[in-house]
Amino acid sequence: MTYLLNKTKLHLRMGQRLIYLDNNSTTPTDPRVVETMIPYFYENPGNAASRNHPAGWAAEGAVDTAREQLADLINADSREIIFTSGATESDNLAIKGVFEMYARKGNHIITATTEHKAVLDACKKVEKMGGEVTYLEVDSEGLISLEELEAAITDKTILISIMWANNETGVIQPMKAIGDICAKHGVLFMSDATQAVGKIPVDPKEVGVHLMAWTSHKMYGPKGVGALFVNRKNPRVKVTSQMDGGGHERGMRSGTLNVPGIVGFGKAAAIAKEEMYEDNARLSKLRDKLQKGLMDILEESYVNGSQEHRMPHVTNISFKHVEGEGLMMTFNQNIALSSGSACTSASLEPSYVLVALGLGDDLAHSSLRFSLGRFTTEEDIDATIKQVSEGVNHMRELSPIWEMFKEGVDIDAIEWSEH
């Protein structure tokens, strides 16, 4: 039986193809990945830790193959790949695991204000455990200052955690320069590379990264499986396990391995290694077409973050005096993407990443993140330019703020009453 899916039937909604531009949130699983996974749900159901019968041996062999595929993608030793449930667990294992393992050396960690919540919240937990954390600010491009990073290092610093590429803006940090600073001061370097691995060339050893987290579902693999790279030599890095019970994954992460998910993760890595450059060339052209198309049509639109140092498939654009969540309602039956606002328990808050870049609440609330992917077509881009620009113009026509702005009123100088 053949399990291949028809690409043209992906993302259906009410009989109409949904234009999916939210690939930084999650990617669709590649049909080739799904086909590779299916036998491990029932034909080969073994537990990779069951080493006394053929089903277990088959599962263990499949996991070994996937581990090698992941290692090959990032130019690592397969023994340096630890499987987890996803990047959030990998981030927690790296940060908390290093904090506990190297407690005798120090208790200070350095990170950035624009990191993913998986890193920021893990650092907050470290602070509650008695650690000290320095949160570096970024400039208007979304980049950290190397001078401020080096100045923040103390004799108690044990870990620097800086993400490879930002999930909201796609901005890529100067990884090699950061790695050189870490090497100079003998500090471990960890990176959440969730948005980078499988999409651009990522080689942790080349840039001096000692621990690196990423996940399958951001690179066309299944959800629920991730990995942590842990350097074995020069230096040999150790982490304290955060999950006990069986000593799986070289004692760093106990728990029955998700064999079908790991098999799919491995296949996704193999596909990425083979097709990455071709994908990037195509997606960067489509991204640039989308960005130019919107900005040519819509005045007072701004790209957020560095346009020089960013992922090839991402653009984050603010449309002045347009509320992003409301704008999305004009087309969200047809286009899937993300806004620059985040829902909290009581209110709609602007993205902390965009605020960190220096955007005011108005521009942060008016931003949309477009993240293209392997299945994005030129027709999708044409339709998106049309629908988003129509939505922006429609909302501006209804907005008294926009009318005042066009009449030359200084909106920022107005003192608004709360009554």
Give the residue numbers annotated as catalytic, written as ranges.
343
**181 and 133 in contact (C-beta within 8 Å)?**
no
d(C-alpha 256, C-alpha 84), whole Å:
10
Position 1: which residue type?
M
Q: How far is CA 249 from the centre of its chain?
A: 24
For residue 36, the tally of other CB atoms under 10 A from its CB is 22
Sign of CA dihedral 92, 93, 99, 103: positive
DSSP letter assigned to residue 258:
-
Provide long-range contacts, Cβ within 8 A and 24+ apart, for 270-274: 270/69, 270/72, 270/73, 271/30, 271/32, 271/33, 271/220, 272/73, 272/197, 272/198, 272/199, 272/219, 272/220, 273/69, 273/72, 273/73
**354 and 304 in contact (C-beta within 8 Å)?**
yes
d(C-alpha 173, C-alpha 188), whole Å:
17
In the Cβ-directed half-sphere of 223, how many Cα atoms lie within 13 Å? 4
Instruction: Select from 227, 223, 262 the least CA-distant residue to 49.
Output: 262
**204 and 182 in contact (C-beta within 8 Å)?**
no
d(C-alpha 19, C-alpha 31), whole Å:
18
